[in-house]
Amino acid sequence: MTHSNSQKPVAVRLDAGTHWLCSCGLSKNLPYCDGGHKGTSFQPVALELNSPKNVEITL
Ligand code: FES
């Protein structure tokens, strides 16, 4: 469960590597973690890709 209840999917193209995604809904740079979760019990979620991919992330 996140602070956000929008359930709005965002389509993004991500390069290979590790991407830190926001799980709290407080980031000002969604869908990525910007550290806005500090002081909450939420932690960013790591998404590791071996190759560039189009992904759809539900916020
Ligand atoms: S800002 Fe949401 S998990 Fe970091």
Confidence at residue 1, expressed as pLDDT on a 0 to 100 scale = 47
CA of 3 to the centre of ligand 1 (A): 10
In a domain, 37, yes or no: yes
Secondary structure (3-state) at 57: strand
37: closest CA among 50, 19, 25, 49?
Answer: 25
What angle (nearest 5°) sits at the alpha carbon of residue 41, between those of residues 5 and 38?
95
CA of 48 to the centre of ligand 1 (A): 17
In a domain, 30, yes or no: yes
In a domain, 33, yes or no: yes
13: containing domain: 9-58
Q: What is the pLDDT of residues 4-52, one digit of tens each?
A: 556 788 899 999 999 999 999 999 998 999 999 999 999 999 999 999 9
Ligand 1 site, residue 26, Cβ cutoff 6 A: yes
Q: Are 37 and 23 in contact (CB under 8 A)?
A: yes
In a domain, 3, yes or no: no
Confidence at residue 4, expressed as pLDDT on a 0 to 100 scale = 54
In a domain, 4, yes or no: no
